[in-house]
């Protein structure tokens, strides 16, 4: 079992979701995250001061899948999420030692 965490642009989210659906990933978990760093955010103006926003807004998708499927999922996200501009995001793959579906108690690949 793998847990894949993908950080993508808001504007690419629709594409990524649809691409995932095509390869049979029909459910994932989503959260709003902020990319925080030293490089530039977005130009902002407030009461006469021009400044950069501290952070950039990104979406994080958490996807559980079987070990075999992981590469395909990463691939698909990479293709659908890419614009080529700085800031396209990252995909991290973690090992999940265990996974349970609360409703049924199924574990492992059947649970996702």
Partner 1 sequence: MEQAALEATFTANNVWMLVSTVLVFIMHLGFSTLEAGFVQKKNVVNILFKNAMIIAIGLITYWICGFNLMYPGGDFAGGFFGFAGFGLDMPEGAAGLIEYADAGYTYWTDFIFQGMFAATCATIVSGAVAERIKLEPFLVFATLFVAISYPITGMWKWGGGWLDAMGFYDFAGSTLVHAAGGAAALAAVLVLGPRRGKYTDSGIKPIPGHSMPLAAIGVFLLWFGWFGFNGGSVLSADPGAVSLVFVTTSLAAAAGAIGAFFVSWMLFKSHDLSMVLNGILGGLVGITAGADQMLPGSSILIGLIAGAIIPFSVVMFDKLKVDDPVGATSVHLVCGIWGTLAVGIFGAMAGVGQIVTQLIGALAVCAFSFAFSFGLMYALKATMGIRVSEEEEIKGLDIGEHDMEAYPEATGDQIAFN
- The span from the CA of 36 to the CA of 4, in Å, is 21
Q: Which of residues 19-38 bind a second copy (CB under 8 A)?
A: 21, 26-38
β pairing state of 2-8 and 55-65: antiparallel
Non-local (6+) Cβ contacts of 28 within 8 A are 20, 61, 62, 63
Beta bridge partner(s), residue 51: 44
- CA dist 112 and 63 (Å) reads 9
Indicate whether 29 belongs to the interface with partner 1 (CB under 8 A): no
The answer to the question of residue 90 lying near ligand ADP (CB under 6 A) is yes
Residue 87 binds to ligand ADP (criterion: CB under 6 A): yes
Residue 56 binds ligand ADP, judged by CB under 6 A:
yes
Among 60, 66, 72, 109, the residue binding a second copy under the rule CB under 8 A is 60
Helix, strand or coil for residue 107?
A: strand
Among 10-18, 25-33, 43-51, 67-75, the segment contacting ligand ADP (CB under 6 A): 25-33
Task: Let me know: does 93 contact 3? Beta carbons within 8 Å.
Answer: yes
Contacts with partner 1, residue ranges (CB under 8 A): 9-11, 13, 30, 32, 34, 36, 42-51, 53-57, 59
Instruction: Give contact residues for ligand ADP (rule: CB under 6 A).
Output: 7, 27-29, 35, 56, 58, 62-64, 86-90, 101, 103, 112
């Amino acid at each position: 079992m793998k847990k894949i965490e993908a950080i993508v642009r808001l504007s690419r989210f629709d594409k990524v979701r649809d691409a995932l659906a095509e390869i049979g990933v029909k459910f994932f978990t989503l959260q709003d995250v902020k990319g925080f760093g030293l490089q530039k955010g977005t130009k902002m103006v407030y009461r006469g001061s021009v400044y950069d926003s501290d952070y950039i807004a990104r979406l994080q998708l958490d996807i559980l899948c079987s070990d075999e499927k992981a590469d395909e999922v990463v691939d698909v996200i990479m293709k659908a999420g890419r614009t080529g501009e700085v800031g396209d995001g990252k995909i991290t793959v973690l090992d999940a030692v265990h996974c349970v579906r609360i409703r049924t108690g199924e574990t492992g690949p059947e649970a996702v």
